[in-house]
Structure 1
Amino acid sequence: MRIPATVGLARILKAEGVEWVTTFPVCYVNNALAEEGLSLLMMRDERYAVAVADAYSRLTGGKRIGVCTVMGGLNPAGFQMAYGALAQAYEDSSPLLCITDGLPEGMAGQIRYPLAAGLRTVAKWVGTITAPEEVPSVMRQAFTHLRTGRPGPVLVTMPRGLGEYDPEARPYKPVCGWRFSPAPEDIAAAVQALRSAKRPLLYVGEGIFYADAVGELAQFAELAQIPVLTTLKGKSAFPEDHPLSVGVRGEAAIHFLQTSDLILAIGTSLSLGHFRHTIPEAHQKTIIHCTVDPADLNRTYRTDIALLGDAKLCLQALIREAMAQGGIPRREGVTREIADAKEAMFARYRPLMVSEERPINPYRVYGDLLKTLDRRASLVSPDSGNPRDQTSTVFEALIPRGYVGWGNVSTLGFSLAVAVAGKLAFPERQCLNITGDAGIGYMFSNFEALVRYNLGVTTVYINNGG
């Protein structure tokens, strides 16, 4: 039995575990998605349609893919409005799927805005469906890119009126994704370097979440007794009340970066950015770099040992090899040094967090949040700017994705999208976003969508003069 191309696409999304799609305001495929039982979450602008899908993919570590649709084709105003959000997802390596209308046959090069060229600048991969029979193969490639290698947004275009195809002649099987391990000789060399190091440091990024390697990270850190510093996007991958946690930023982070003689970077590109640490005196340190993307190697810093592969498989291999080589020598006084460095840092902030001064200062708000929230049953995301800078220092995350850091290309207002996606991904959690005067202006219209869909999230708005 032949089916319309749009129906085939909808059924493929359902086969891949997609339950809902964010959108605004229209897209050719939307009617078929709804008719096939997919929920359409109508946000109040295209940017938020992308942002909620983006955040959902991040929060689930790419195990469940966020999907959005926006208007394209001959009138690509929707895609143009979505461009900033897609650029952020691309910069942050978030594996969302965006579907938009394609150009009718023969119209390429006939319009002023080059849709295909615009798509490629903010996507890991672009799939163009030009005939109904191509739906299964293009979608198969799309989900392969979404679930394999470095994460990133994938865009699929499909023009109106494509016609029908036979799904029995072109069956679709869900894509599992593929992972690969670092070379054994590189693992052995990394363990030998760790055994020889005097002051090693683990520097951990968001790749830990996508590899589902939180447990392996804790096991390896405890086995080797190595301090753990995370990137902003990697925050909460390691419990920040753990004796080996250095946190994300502040004096403790700077101290251990400066005094380390070896850095084992896992799940981070080590690229430079507005909210990323630089490695001081990097040429005097041994740098071991675990990444799924060879483009990261030797880009920002010299890579002494490359562990090219999945973070989970890498950590499992490091644990096995460390035990085979007789373990990694424990360094006396490491946890005491971490505790002293963190205490010196928090001593500066603690008075502000209990201050009775008026007007109230932001740190007092964060201090009260720490007392009020159950950090083992909640999700907090700050907006870019002051809320992010301040909370990433003093708000200690206790569970994976209990705090969601984000953004190198940081679009204001994204924190509300994270809270919304958090409620969709973890309905049992209390989901909260923190914003200031600038960020709140980007959110107002989308509060209406939260009321319409009965999504209970909390927004903390700080009057910070932004």
Structure 2
Amino acid sequence: MNGAEVVASILKQEGVKQIIGFPNSELFDASAHLDIPPVITRTPRVAVNIAEGYARTTAGRELAVVTVQYGPGAESAFGGIAQAFNDRAPILFLPTGYPRGSEAVAPNFEASRNFRHITKWCEAVTRVEHLPKLMHSAITRLRNGRPAPVLLELPVDLLAEKLDPSHDIYQKPRRSVPQADAGEIAELIATLLAAKNPVVFAGQGVLAASASKELVEFAELLRIPVMTTPNGKSGFPENHSLALGTAGRARPATVDHFMDKADVVLALGTSLTRSHYILPIAKDKVLLQVTIDEGDLGKDYPIAQGVVSDARSALRQMIAHVKSERLAIPDRGDIAEEIRGIRAAFMERWMPFLTANSEPISPYRVVWEIMRAVDPARTIVTHDAGNPRDQFSPFYEATVPGSYVGWGKTTQLGSGLGFALGAKLARPEATVVNLMGEAAFGMVGIDFETAIRCNLPILTVVMRNNVLGGYAASMPIATKKYGANRMSGGYAPIAEALGGYGECVTAPADLRPALLRALEKVGQGQAALVEVVTHEEPRLPGLC
């Protein structure tokens, strides 16, 4: 076998279902020979975005593999890997490399050198006989510890080099699940039971650990309300009586109310990264942090206690401790009724926006009609950066783990389209909906054709208001003198030209019927795009 065939045989042993990439890689043919199909995108960045959507939808249980051509392919993938690193997505990135001996010659781009700060592990293969060992190392790191992209650069001449198949038998790595010391668990529980108003702040680690069931049991047992990070949204069912919603930049009033009154915050499966897009935690809170990565402890906030553990392991240990010790649960009143009252007042305030009959259409009306058109139990939704995220996340109820691909610590416009395609690749039976603005579509819109060609029928909703939403305030002179925030164009015709279903909506009464028609097309196997002409809307929940 040559080097490419060795890599492909290992991917086959690992149960890899497809290999994603653009535009060329020696791994495509070698994998296809073993019945691993390629998913060819239109840009390397979107290929990585698809891999991230796939990895997060499967909670890292299936290998998301992406490969790109050396030089410009690797260079163009950089933004996607940076996004995945910030989102903690476990991706196996296998870029090809320049022939050995020329990789360090300027201006040749050496992936193993340039990606070091946005990957968990980043190496290059220099000898073909080292391939099985280094693939084992890469996948071991991918399966264990904090989720993040792992990179192994494969020089093209090495991929063509022959290797004796008897040389080094590949052994599949296993996942190890760390758990806390019993004394640490007892201390966590003691602090929570002594608190007057504790809250759980659940992050993406809950989803990565498939710990939603345990989180529900824990919250009900201790009668503690739960809010999530943007990336952790759907980790706790948002139709549950103890659900507060997502603590993003824009957020429901339930989040502010309970975070303001909280004295103890259990940050579970979150890195506690300070971000413009995540609600900051006040200094007067006692912070308890459970994370799988020791590098998260005390990174951005001073913590009273830090525990290194898989989220599900920690939850099971805490539940078992409370039950085995028969600990008394304090009476903190009817928290569920308090949540219901605050949520009702919040929705009453925002319902005029959600049901507005204005023309151009309110973006909140778009959110409302999407919520009415889909079945949240059978749907995976995502959004794009900026206003679509801030207008959608506070209202959409994610009720099933993995049904919402939220993101926010870095916000590259256009990422949502690839995430939606990756989610559809992982769960073809699900309805997948992506909400984006026209600026985001401009970044990646041609990859709508990938949905059509690769039989990944998703619904994309593009809100068009002919401006870069919110940017006039940051460049008022350029906007006034030169219209720097203006955009133009129509997007439904592009979808049709690429082979999909496209429809443009200008009247609120036509919106839901258009969405239902598009969803019917998706159900029939055709990717659809609904373009909605909206007005710019600066008012955001939690910020006004």
Calculate the TM-score normalised by the size of structure 1.
0.96
SS at match of 1:344: helix
Please report how far the alpha carbon of residue 394 of structure 1 lies from its aligned counterpart in structure 2 after TM superposition: 0.9
Output the CA distance in 2 between the equivalents of 1:251 and 1:273: 19
Letter in 1 for 2:90: P
Please report how far the alpha carbon of residue 113 of structure 1 lies from its aligned counterpart in structure 2 after TM superposition: 4.7
Q: Which residue pairs with 1:253 in the alignment?
A: 255
SS at match of 2:393: helix
Q: Which residue pairs with 1:101 in the alignment?
A: 96
Report which stretch shifted further, 268-277 or 144-153: 268-277
Note the alpha carbon deviations across 1:361-408, whole angstroms, 9 max, x for none: 011111111211111111111111111001101111111122211131
Output the CA distance in 2 between the equivalents of 1:121 and 1:33: 29
Asked whether 1:205 is paired with 2:203, we answer yes
Please report how far the alpha carbon of residue 29 of structure 1 lies from its aligned counterpart in structure 2 after TM superposition: 2.6
Q: Which residue pairs with 1:142 in the alignment?
A: 138
Q: Which residue pairs with 2:118 in the alignment?
A: 122
Q: Which residue pairs with 1:453 in the alignment?
A: 454
Are the equivalent residues in 2 in contact too, given 1:7–1:36 (CA < 8 A)? no
Are the equivalent residues in 1 in contact too, given 2:84–2:148 (CA < 8 A)? yes
Note the alpha carbon deviations across 1:291-322, whole angstroms, 9 max, x for none: 01111111222221222111010000000111
Q: Which residue pairs with 1:214 in the alignment?
A: 212
Q: Which residue pairs with 1:405 in the alignment?
A: 406
Please report how far the alpha carbon of residue 354 of structure 1 lies from its aligned counterpart in structure 2 after TM superposition: 1.6
Note the alpha carbon deviations across 1:223-281, whole angstroms, 9 max, x for none: 1110101000100111111110000123211121111010001110001112112111x
Q: Which residue pairs with 1:306 in the alignment?
A: 306
Structure 1 segments unaligned to the other structure (5+ residues): none
Q: Which residue pairs with 2:170 in the alignment?
A: 172
2:193 equivalent among 192, 195, 202: 195
Letter in 2 for 1:127: E
1:325-336 pair list within 5 angstroms? 325-327=325-327, 328-336=329-337
Output the CA distance in 2 between the equivalents of 1:156 and 1:355: 51
Please report how far the alpha carbon of residue 124 of structure 1 lies from its aligned counterpart in structure 2 after TM superposition: 0.7
Are the equivalent residues in 2 in contact too, given 1:16–1:175 (CA < 8 A)? no
Output the CA distance in 2 between the equivalents of 1:357 and 1:277: 31
Output the CA distance in 1 between the equivalents of 2:86 and 2:180: 25
Asked whether 1:33 is paired with 2:31, we answer yes
1:79 equivalent among 71, 74, 85: 74
SS at match of 2:306: strand
Identity percentage over the alignment?
A: 35
Letter in 2 for 1:31: D
Q: Which residue pairs with 2:295 in the alignment?
A: 295
Letter in 2 for 1:251: A
Report which stretch shifted further, 144-153 or 437-446: 437-446
SS at match of 1:320: helix
Q: Which residue pairs with 2:527 in the alignment?
A: none
Letter in 2 for 1:232: P
Output the CA distance in 2 between the equivalents of 1:140 and 1:129: 12
1:407-446 pair list within 5 angstroms? 407-446=408-447
Letter in 1 for 2:173: V
Output the CA distance in 2 between the equivalents of 1:437 and 1:446: 14
Q: Which residue pairs with 2:127 in the alignment?
A: 131
Q: Which residue pairs with 1:18 in the alignment?
A: 16
Are the equivalent residues in 2 in contact too, given 1:88–1:407 (CA < 8 A)? no
Note the alpha carbon deviations across 1:440-465, whole angstroms, 9 max, x for none: 11232111111112221101111133
SS at match of 2:432: strand
Q: Which residue pairs with 2:542 in the alignment?
A: none
Please report how far the alpha carbon of residue 105 of structure 1 lies from its aligned counterpart in structure 2 after TM superposition: 2.7
Note the alpha carbon deviations across 1:20-54, whole angstroms, 9 max, x for none: 11111112332212222211111001101111011
Structure 2 segments unaligned to the other structure (5+ residues): 469-544
SS at match of 2:207: helix
Output the CA distance in 1 between the equivalents of 2:14 and 2:142: 11
Are the equivalent residues in 2 in contact too, given 1:380–1:404 (CA < 8 A)? yes
Are the equivalent residues in 2 in contact too, given 1:147–1:176 (CA < 8 A)? yes
Letter in 1 for 2:94: I
1:58 equivalent among 46, 56, 59: 56
Are the equivalent residues in 2 in contact too, given 1:412–1:438 (CA < 8 A)? yes
Output the CA distance in 2 between the equivalents of 1:167 and 1:210: 35
Are the equivalent residues in 1 in contact too, given 2:88–2:146 (CA < 8 A)? yes
Please report how far the alpha carbon of residue 114 of structure 1 lies from its aligned counterpart in structure 2 after TM superposition: 5.1
Asked whether 1:265 is paired with 2:267, we answer yes
Are the equivalent residues in 1 in contact too, given 2:371–2:396 (CA < 8 A)? yes
Output the CA distance in 2 between the equivalents of 1:272 and 1:149: 21
SS at match of 2:266: strand
Letter in 2 for 1:363: Y
Output the CA distance in 2 between the equivalents of 1:367 and 1:269: 31
Calculate the TM-score normalised by the size of structure 2.
0.82
Letter in 1 for 2:186: A
Note the alpha carbon deviations across 1:155-181, whole angstroms, 9 max, x for none: 111112322223333111222221110
Please report how far the alpha carbon of residue 13 of structure 1 lies from its aligned counterpart in structure 2 after TM superposition: 0.7
> How many pairs does the alignment contain?
459
